[in-house]
Each structure stands twice: as structure tokens, then as C-alpha cells.
Amino acid sequence: MMVLLVSMTPLLGSYLASGSPSSLSKVASTALPMVVKSGIAYPVAKIDVRALAPSHAIGVSAGSHPQALGVIIPASNVSALLNAISSSSSVSVLSGFDGLNQIQSCTCVPPDVQVAAGPNHIVEMVNLVGEIFSKQGVTNKTFALSSLFITGSDSISDPKVLFDSSSGRWFTSIVDASLNDVIVGVSSTSDPTGTWTLYALSAGGNLPDQPIIGVSNDKFVASANDFFSHSFAGSQYWVLNKSEMLTGSAASFATSGANGGFFSIHPVQSLSSTTAQYMVGNVVSRKALVTNSVQFFSITGVPGVSTVTTNTTVLSVSTLSVPLGGVQPGTSSTVNTGDFRVLSAVWFMGKLWYGLGDACVPIGDTQARSCIRLTMIDTTTSPVSIKQDFDFGLDGQYLFYPAVSMDGKGNLDLTYGYSSSTMFPSLAVTGQAATDPADSLAPPQTLKAGSAADTSTRYGDYFGAGLDPSTPTTVWLAGEYHTSSTSSCGSFGSCWSTFIGSITMANTIPVSVNNVASFLGIIVNTTGHLAVNTVNSTVSGSLNVAAMNSTTGVTIFNKTYTIPSLRLQNMTGVLQSSFLLSIGVSPYPLSSNIHVRESGGIGSVVIGVSRRVDTNGDGIVNIKDLAFVAGVFGSTLSSPGYDGRADIDGSGAINILDLTAVAIYFGTADFI
């Protein structure tokens, strides 16, 4: 939750200071109703976004100071053994544009950045403003969240927004701290600029802090951490009948009430069909600032239709501890990297990925930094099981606030913030292709570089990620960074800014090349590495060609070729392409003829050597080469018209085999 005059976001320490120790059983699996109340949530309003007035800067004076948040000392037993390895896949940034900033929205921290993508729009929400963009970054509508949620002058914070592909609708939420309500909304169509229906979920006398939302086929779930008079009362979640919400009518619900045995239960956004609604949350002992357990929840049943039951399983994870503050240039202030509650969670085709902050010693480093913990749960096994659980850390850098999504191929996409002693708070992206090795990530790419330090003492509290339903290999991401161009925001220091970008994971399949061929007394060795990108359907890499006299062993040619991204053709599900590497030898040049193919995630290469198929050496096999061979067709070594350049197979006779060779490689690039 943001800081206005006071801060209502609890730190882990405030939770640890209350109540009795919670169980840390590693193998418990129980089926509990965990529902203490059911009822009907009636629509409180219908809002037409098109009728909302444009937003303007709102909030309290920039001179107000955030409430002191206390100090958390990170645990000393930080693991250095769980760092991610680098995969051969790559992540490509497709587009990016500036999102909302502190001057546009409110004189408050942090922004609580959220983003979601629909068929034609991108929606960003921050404290306390929303903006609707085209996918080209053109502003369609800006509005105050107090207008969207009809909260007037109430204290609101922690916006959430997602697009549900199964229903074609948008869902959103915010906490109204003045009424102790979670306000949730659902759009009437896939157009976010149209009408929304609002519902109010009451936490009674408790403050429902940092609500989080998720969806499955038939359920909408919201959760929150309930506080009473600044003391933690427990985590609460509400399960609503999704189909009733979609009609804009009264919606049946069931709620767990405030459960003191759990902290920060995170509903999952389901990206493929499922009637089970999943949630995850770390199991925290109130006697230590570390944990090695995660609670998995599976909710079945539909309110108003069937009994709602929650199955829970406690799973062991590698030890988590509170991340360290992010060092930044020119100031002793550090980026507030939060704690190790789950920050983002998504499910697709039996795989549940979630991300959070952790402390680790990155590979090659000598001290602990703030890192990102990524965990994947396999929901197809019985009981469910953790298949991946690793830290992502970078030498000398502090990483924070991961937001994850998955694309239509099952690839993991991720954005996060980073800083260091030489780098201002910035944004980066990475991911894991579905075919990548476990515990690996693609080399990170910068999404937006910062140019100013954050001295506000608050950051995050979370970033956003959402799958593009129109292009299921594209994921949209948004997060906070700081730039000198956004001016100053009084006592908060540099204003926060946000950036929105789209990425795609390139599943890169490595192909090792090591071929030896002999042609007319010349031995040709072609070696190196190629990479097939199945997303962009390209092949690239570096190959060396060495030729030697087979009798004397003397090297007569040696050259390394850089292969740029060559387009692969999709031939009935098989990606394939050919290219030539010219070999400059006498009396006639040769070529190493490369044919690359990929099928079922496996890459292969076939290499042959012949006289250069690109007979005139102009860099491409075309009609000129066919005409040249045809012009001396039928000639032999003993014929006056014989030209060895047209004798592709070196047989001594220019015939149909030579014409066929040129025809096979017609249109193929020749690297000279």
C-alpha cells in the first residue's frame, strides 16, 4: 500500500510480532472447507469509463513524510547454491513506451504498478490513476481510480487489473481503507473503455490490505491481509461465482474470514482452462525472518452452485530470507526491496510459476544481494510437487519486484527492477523457454534504464505482467524506474516513473556443427555453432571453414563466417533453410553447402561440399547461375566449351546433375 500521510502496508516484522508460531509441516496435505461465511455480493454501481473525467494530479502535499516503517535485519544464512544458470534461449523486446508517473497520478509512494493486455488495449493502473492505451502506446483514456471505483475522498490504494481470456473480460480491484472494503470490478465486454460493474467485499472491522485477485473458469478470487488496529488479524479470501459476475448481477460468494495461520495468500491468474482456483503463500514462522515452506491452495466448487472446498498442501522450498536494500549511485539511501511474500503468480497447462524477493549470493559475487526467487509447481502430480526452485542473482546487482506471466507456448516471461552502485533503479526482462533446462533463464535484457536514484524509502510494491490474448507469444510488462527527466517530488526526492513494454521468448535450439568432407583431393572441415530461433523462425551463428590439400596436408583456405538471422521456411511443421559458405581455392572455388532443419525441438544439419553453386560469386544462387550451367550443358573435360565452374559435382561432365544442384539451392545465400 502507498504512503500518503500514513502507510498501511504491513512489513513482515509487524506480522512476526503478533500471534503464535505457525506450523512448518513439510508434507501436510489437507482438505478443509476453510469457509466461515457465504452470502450474496450485490452490485454497488455500474460505471461507464467513457464518461469519466480525465485525471489530474491528486493526493496530499509532496512535502508529507512517509510513516517510519521499522527495520528488518536480513537472515545471515543466505544460500549461494541456488543461482540460475544461463540458457541458450533469448528474450526479445518488441515495443515499449512511457506509462504513468508520479506527477500525473499522486504525490504518494510507491506506485503499485499494474498492467494487463486485452484484444485491442493495454490498461495500466497505479496509485491513484488508470490509463488505457492502444498497443502502439497511444493514450485512449486516463481517469482517477476514485472515479472508477466511486470512492470519493476515501483512502484507496493497491490497484490490481487483469484480462481473463476465457471470458473476454477485464477484472480489477482496489482497497478502500476508509470503509474496510475490497472494491472489485468486471467489465461488460472486452473493451475496457466501456461499462464496468462494481462489487464491495467487506472485511468487517478489519483493514483488508494489499488485495490480490485471480480467476479460473468458474471462479473469481480476491485475497487480502486483514489488520485490526495495526495488528495482523490473518489472511482472508473471497470466492465469487464468476458467471454471475459476468452478467453484472448479484454474485454468490464464500469467504474464509481472517485466518491467522496464513500470511499473504496469493491467488493465481489461470491462463488455460481449469475449474480449480489455485493460490500460493509462504509459510512463515513468527520466530524467524526466514522460511523454507510454501502453502499451495486448490479451491473447488462454485458459490451458490456447489460446496466450496479448499485443499491445502505444504511444500518444501530452499530457504528464503528477507532481501537486502538495493544500493544505488550517489546516495546512501537504498531501494526498499520489500520482503519475501509472493508477488506474482500464474498458471498454464499444469504449471504454476510464482516469483518473489529473496537474498542470495550471486555466482561470482562475494556478498549477499537482493535476488529473485522463482518456483514452479507441477499441479498434474498427486500430490502437487515443486519442479523448479531457484534464485536469480547477478554479480554486483540488486534485483527486486519480479512480475511473471506465461505465453501460449508455456514459456515463462519475467520483468524485474535492478540497481547497483553504478546503475540507477531500472527495468529488465528475462525468461525461460519451455524447452530450456530447469533452473535456467535467458540472458537478461534492459527494458528501461534509469537515470536518478530513489530516496523515498518506498518502492514497488509490485510490478505487472499480462499475456496478450491476440498474440499469445507476446507478454506485456510494466514496472517502476527513476529518471531525471521526471523532475522532483518534494521530500520524496526524484519522482517515480513507469514503463510499459512487450516481449517474446525466443526458444533457441543449439545446433553443433563438426563436419569433414573430401572433394577432388581437398579436405574441408566445417565447424562451429548455430542457433535455431523457433519464435522468429531464424537461424544464426558462427561457422569456420578450413580446407587443406589431402596429399600434403597444407592448409589452403581458412575463414570464419558470421551467419546473421536467416529466415527458416516452415515445411509441414519442419523449419528448414540452406546457405552456402564459399571456399576460395584454385583452380575453381568450392562451397560448403549447409542445410539446417528443426523438428520437435531437435535441430540438425546436413553438409555437403561441391564446386561453388553460386557460379558467378555474386552472393546468391539465381537465374544467372542456371543460365551459365545451361549454356555449357553437355560439355566435358575434353570439349572446347567446358568450364569447370559449371561442373558442380566435379564429374568432368556438365549434365543434369549439375543443373539439379543449382535448382536445389536456387535462391540460397552464398557467404563469400
Per-residue pLDDT tens over the stretch 563-606 = 998 999 988 889 999 999 999 999 999 999 999 998 877 889 99
pLDDT value for 36:
67
**Cα–Cα distance between 236 and 34 in angstroms, integer?**
10
Longest dimension (CA), the chain: 103
For residue 170, the one-letter residue type is: W
For residue 274, the one-letter residue type is: T
Tell me how far apart the terminal alpha carbons of the chain are, to the nearest angstrom.
61
Per DSSP, 120 falls in state: S
pLDDT value for 612:
97
Q: Which of 49, 31, 1, 62 shows the shortest CA–CA distance to 490? A: 62
- Cβ 242 vs Cβ 280: under 8 Å: no
**Interior/surface letters 25-42, b for 16+ CB within 10 angstroms, e for the rest:** eeeeeeeeebbeeeeebe
pLDDT averaged over 10-residue windows placed end to end, the chain, 672 residues? 41 40 35 68 97 66 26 36 74 94 93 98 97 97 97 97 98 97 98 98 95 98 93 93 98 92 90 98 69 94 96 94 96 96 97 97 94 98 96 97 96 98 98 91 95 96 98 96 90 95 87 95 96 85 96 96 92 90 96 93 92 97 97 94 96 97 96 94
For residue 208, the one-letter residue type is: P
* Cell numbers linked to 452: 536518478
Q: Which of 278, 318, 274, 308 shows the shortest CA–CA distance to 296? A: 278
Q: CA 473 → CA 91, 407, 509, 566, distances in Å?
A: 11, 5, 17, 20
Is the pTM above the cut of 0.75? yes
- What are the extents of the domains in the chain? 12-65+76-506, 508-671
* Cell numbers linked to 449: 534504464
**Cα–Cα distance between 100 and 111 in angstroms, integer?**
9
**Cα–Cα distance between 507 and 498 in angstroms, integer?**
28
Q: Which of 491, 457, 453 shows the shortest CA–CA distance to 65? A: 491
**Cα–Cα distance between 641 and 199 in angstroms, integer?**
88
**Cα–Cα distance between 298 and 22 in angstroms, integer?**
20
- Hey, which CATH number is domain 12-65+76-506, 2.120.10, 2.30.29, 2.60.40, 1.10.40? 2.120.10
Over residues 347-381, the pLDDT tens digits come to 999 999 999 999 999 999 999 999 999 999 999 99
Q: Which of 535, 546, 581, 542 shows the shortest CA–CA distance to 564? A: 542
